[in-house]
Structure 1
Amino acid sequence: MFTMDDLNQMDTQTLTDTLGSIFEHSSWIAERSAALRPFSSLSDLHRKMTGIVKAADRETQLDLIKKHPRLGTKKTMSNDSVREQQNAGLSKLEQQEYEEFLKLNEHYYDRFGFPFILAVKGKTKQDIHQALLARLESERETEFQQALIEIYRIARFRLADIITEKGETQMKRTMSYGKGNVFAYRTFLKPLTGVKQIPESSFAGRSNTVVGVDVTCEIGGEAFLPSFTDGDNTLVVATDSMKNFIQRHLASYEGTTTEGFLHYVAHRFLDTYSHMDKITLTGEDIPFEAMPAYEEKELSTSRLVFRRSRNERSRSVLKAERTEDTITIKEQYSEIMDLQLVKVSGNSFVGFIRDEYTTLPEDGNRPLFVYLNISWQYENTNDAYASDPARYVAAEQVRDLASTVFHELETPSIQNLIYHIGCRILMRFPQLTDVSFQSQNHTWDTVVEEIPGSKGKVYTEPRPPFGFQRFTVTREDAEKEKQKNDEAIGTLKA
């Protein structure tokens, strides 16, 4: 591997020898690039080399295109092309597949006058075959320009294989783009079974007969800088392609959870597009509930008809980054959002500071209406993907735990409520490191204080603004709370 400093200090011949294979059998591009030094980054080097090709005349560009081998051929080609085609499975074609590729390549060459070129890194032989069929329908000029674009992509991949930017000071900037509201629905996903049972919840798994997810995909990397600064889309993956990528990979996903699906898609993205440095995926579940069905004179649950739920929402977030050839999960968490719970009595709020600004009366027994966003993180992120279902924490269980604690607790404040909910979650699921809350107080305003013959009251929506809380409950908090509970039980027994 070479650094930018290495390249900037080389004499012209050494630089030409080092970069001569970046463009197939065209070392003249590397030689001319020597005069454009210094190179500030891999992206800068790539931009200057492709600029040389773009500035060349039509015949020179055509000559460059023709120097590329035909995909799937068994004829002699450069070492880089051999390796790239091997990785795509083109060196292990069955005889029938080889003959099909040969026939299609000949047809393409006869139609356009140059070979079919595709940056095959991260693609399968099926992907390549499909692309070849589709591009046979294009016009010649479209294919000429597409061939150059694919050559630029190949050059980027080859540069990334021999150059490291490690140790260089890179300017930190916000630079990303992506696609939101990618809706994907799948029927008959593998069921989620074998989850740990807890006393507070009847949840035992998901049938996954119908599954929906709303995905947001955000990608980044230095390779995309030219698209912002120069309008150069050579390495841009269209957001429409991102949408199709996500939706089609839901078909090949063999797991059982949204968390696992995001992990799968993130790795497939970074494996397919090696110039991407990082990806953030957010997946919001679209829940469906089975409807009742009257079968054989008995009311049961339908296995075919479902209704879309409109209650609280479950979401998963995953952030992954590439360092050279290693993909690292930088952050993963799951959450349940907009869980709305009301407890009609057994809640108080007293003892707070009272001064000249205070108009809120103390209340020893009030209804309490809260909105909760609850997120949780695993000590080992692999547990989130449910490869071992017994270590997976389902949003349904977190929801039921929150409701149970709310029911049990004489609530002196929302702050204390979320603390105890968090401790209970961590006690039940020791594989988690922490539980975080964003809560809001939406307790109703009283309209009628007393109703004759009833203990009820009449309320209306609270006037804005609303109060909110943020808090993270840690493993240490849960252990302290458990110790307090154990001591209290010991005292009672004594």
Structure 2
Amino acid sequence: MKSFTINDLNRMNQSPFIKTLGDIFEHSPWVAEGAWSSRPFADKEQLHAAMVDVVEQAPEDMKLKLIRAHPDLGGRLQMSPLSVNEQRRSGLSDLTAEQYEEFHACNTEYTHKFGFPFIIAVSGKSKEMILEAMKYRITLDQEAEKQAALKQIADITRFRINDLIITNNGGDQPMENFTNKRTMHYGKGDVLVYRTFVKPLRVQPVPESTYIGTDNVVFALNVKISVWADILLTSFTEGDNTSVVATDSMKNFILRHTADFTGNTVEAYLRDMATLFMDKYTHLTGIELSAERIPFDPVKVPSGGDFFTDSGLVFRHSRNESGVFTFKMERGEAGYEVLGHSALLSNLHLIKVKGSMFAGFVRDEYTTLPESFDRPLYIYLNIGWEYADYEDAVSEGEVKYVAAEQISDITHTLFHQLNSPSIQKLIYDIGLRILERFPQLGKVWFESNNRTWETIVENVPGSEGRVYTEPRPPYGFQGFSLTQSDLAEARNLLEAAASAELK
């Protein structure tokens, strides 16, 4: 069985997540579907708890449907591959004729009484122990046995998740392959690609932004590629390069096939490039591509009278924030499987010269920071987002495409409008607005640094001005993620508050 880290699962969009975990709860992919919105999971225990919670919150008929999806122990019903392996390990797949008849008789009595098959976590139990447990549980009443069955399902699924998920003690390594439970990948970085006159991009407008698209005259990227496969092991252990695609060849492949790109977004570019590369080198198992969009802004030139317009020919290499996009894919039984994707607006630096506050925090013998009710606030921000369905990022028409420029403009607007009590509250409100404007997004997350200047002169005579300098080296930081369920909860709270006021 293929193994994953918790980070692999956290980066999956909804479809591969459900496909990967759909049989953890027997023939019940709705459990994985319900747990997907609870990402990110800190560990496999938190993932399992989220899936169990989906079952506990489900209607009674869905719980019964889940119980009835399980095979009869020692029987001949259709089983998932996971159940087949579990029953084989406990010896239930090689019962003698006499043992089969005894199991069959007990199971018939059990199912006749309760209306569902007997369920037990068989791991570590012998055939004899399982039969004795069945005989005892036949004596329970209907509700007690239903709860016992659900408890056993929770135990079974805990074992399955433990088998599926491996622990990556080295931390989050986005370019790492865990199929073999070892680090084994290689690739090429800093592949600088400059393509001109790509198909223009047009996006749906949002109230906080004037951005409606780009002519894509300069489509500039810094690309990184990483690949992996079991067959590459000997290149590490024996120096055998017969299956190694030279990283220089990778660079040339990317540069030359950039001319074949007919789309207009970085996401589509990465998907197309990954597919072409895997089609060419069929011995490879998986690929991860990332690309930073290198911004080139059109310069303004006179167009007659007092008007200026974009040159269309001359562009300025901007040093402002940029988008960083990733795409991860592997071969599967039914074709290529998207394992993960993300977009990130990086290095957004914003200063608000007044109108921010920070007060009410813990004060003790270690506190020297004064409370502030109208301070400047200088923040560094990285903002990431994922689509619930990756097709929305790459489909023709761009109806649901989310541009990094729109994410940036929403952030500017909220920073201007809000007098936030903290950076934490600020990024929470920005996240809610992004999810509100773009319901096609499944998740948005933030990494923020507080780089607020240190005040030197409080009052400049005759003005509102002050004098500041760079802050001292230690800085505060925050991390936070939101999903559509957070937006729904926030709306419910607002509706409840409004209803209470009317009363």
- The CA deviation at 1:387 is 2.0
Aligned to 1:105: none
Q: Percent identity?
A: 49
1:67-466 mapped onto 2 (5 Å cutoff) = 171-193=180-202, 195-297=203-305, 298-324=307-333, 326-466=335-475
Q: Is the 8 A contact 2:345 2:384 kept in 1?
A: yes
1:101-154, Cα deviation, whole Å (9 max, x unpaired) = xxxxxxxxxxxxxxxxxxxxxxxxxxxxxxxxxxxxxxxxxxxxxxxxxxxxxx
- The CA deviation at 1:323 is 2.2
Q: Runs of 5+ in structure 2 lacking a partner?
A: 1-177
In 2, Cα distance between equivalents of 1:380 and 1:300: 37
**Root-mean-square deviation over aligned CA pairs:** 1.8
In 1, Cα distance between equivalents of 2:262 and 2:368: 57
Quickly say closer, same or farther: Cα 1:245–1:465, change in 2 above 3 A. Answer: same
Q: Is the 8 A contact 1:196 1:390 kept in 2?
A: yes
1:31-51, Cα deviation, whole Å (9 max, x unpaired) = xxxxxxxxxxxxxxxxxxxxx
Is the aligned partner of 1:478 residue 2:487? yes
In 1, Cα distance between equivalents of 2:251 and 2:272: 15
Q: Is the 8 A contact 2:387 2:440 kept in 1?
A: yes
- The CA deviation at 1:485 is 4.1
Q: Is the 8 A contact 1:370 1:440 kept in 2?
A: yes
SS at the partner of 2:214?
Answer: coil
Q: Runs of 5+ in structure 1 lacking a partner?
A: 1-168
Higher RCO, 1 vs 2 (CA within 8 Å, ≥6 residues apart): 2
Q: Is the 8 A contact 1:314 1:395 kept in 2?
A: yes
Q: Is the 8 A contact 2:376 2:452 kept in 1?
A: yes
AA paired with 1:318?
F
SS at the partner of 2:445?
Answer: strand
AA paired with 1:373?
N
In 1, Cα distance between equivalents of 2:355 and 2:502: 27
In 1, Cα distance between equivalents of 2:321 and 2:414: 18
In 2, Cα distance between equivalents of 1:251 and 1:460: 48
AA paired with 1:458?
V
- The CA deviation at 1:384 is 1.2
Q: Is the 8 A contact 1:256 1:386 kept in 2?
A: no
SS at the partner of 2:213?
Answer: coil
Q: Is the 8 A contact 2:180 2:230 kept in 1?
A: no
Quickly say closer, same or farther: Cα 1:346–1:490, change in 2 above 3 A. Answer: farther
In 2, Cα distance between equivalents of 1:170 and 1:216: 21
Quickly say closer, same or farther: Cα 1:171–1:182, change in 2 above 3 A. Answer: closer
Pick one of 456, 470, 478 that aligns with 1:469: 478
- The CA deviation at 1:249 is 1.5
In 1, Cα distance between equivalents of 2:393 and 2:459: 50
State the structure with more CA Rg.
1
In 2, Cα distance between equivalents of 1:388 and 1:493: 44
In 1, Cα distance between equivalents of 2:186 and 2:435: 36
In 1, Cα distance between equivalents of 2:287 and 2:472: 41
Q: Which runs of 4+ in 1 moved over 6 A?
A: 489-494
Quickly say closer, same or farther: Cα 1:262–1:421, change in 2 above 3 A. Answer: same
In 1, Cα distance between equivalents of 2:195 and 2:274: 19
TM-score with structure 2 setting the length: 0.62
In 2, Cα distance between equivalents of 1:372 and 1:462: 17
SS at the partner of 2:201?
Answer: coil
Quickly say closer, same or farther: Cα 1:354–1:170, change in 2 above 3 A. Answer: closer
TM-score with structure 1 setting the length: 0.64
Aligned to 1:76: none
In 1, Cα distance between equivalents of 2:192 and 2:477: 31
AA paired with 1:448?
V
- The CA deviation at 1:257 is 0.4
1:446-489, Cα deviation, whole Å (9 max, x unpaired) = 01111111111111110111111111011111112233445566
Quickly say closer, same or farther: Cα 1:284–1:455, change in 2 above 3 A. Answer: same
Aligned to 1:10: none
SS at the partner of 2:343?
Answer: strand
In 2, Cα distance between equivalents of 1:437 and 1:411: 16
AA paired with 2:268?
G
Q: Is the 8 A contact 1:257 1:386 kept in 2?
A: no
SS at the partner of 1:411?
Answer: coil
- The CA deviation at 1:228 is 0.7
In 2, Cα distance between equivalents of 1:493 and 1:398: 35
Quickly say closer, same or farther: Cα 1:404–1:385, change in 2 above 3 A. Answer: same
In 2, Cα distance between equivalents of 1:251 and 1:208: 14
In 1, Cα distance between equivalents of 2:425 and 2:256: 45
SS at the partner of 1:435?
Answer: strand
Quickly say closer, same or farther: Cα 1:203–1:491, change in 2 above 3 A. Answer: farther
In 1, Cα distance between equivalents of 2:230 and 2:214: 41
SS at the partner of 1:389?
Answer: coil
AA paired with 1:350?
A
Quickly say closer, same or farther: Cα 1:386–1:343, change in 2 above 3 A. Answer: farther
Q: Is the 8 A contact 2:384 2:445 kept in 1?
A: yes
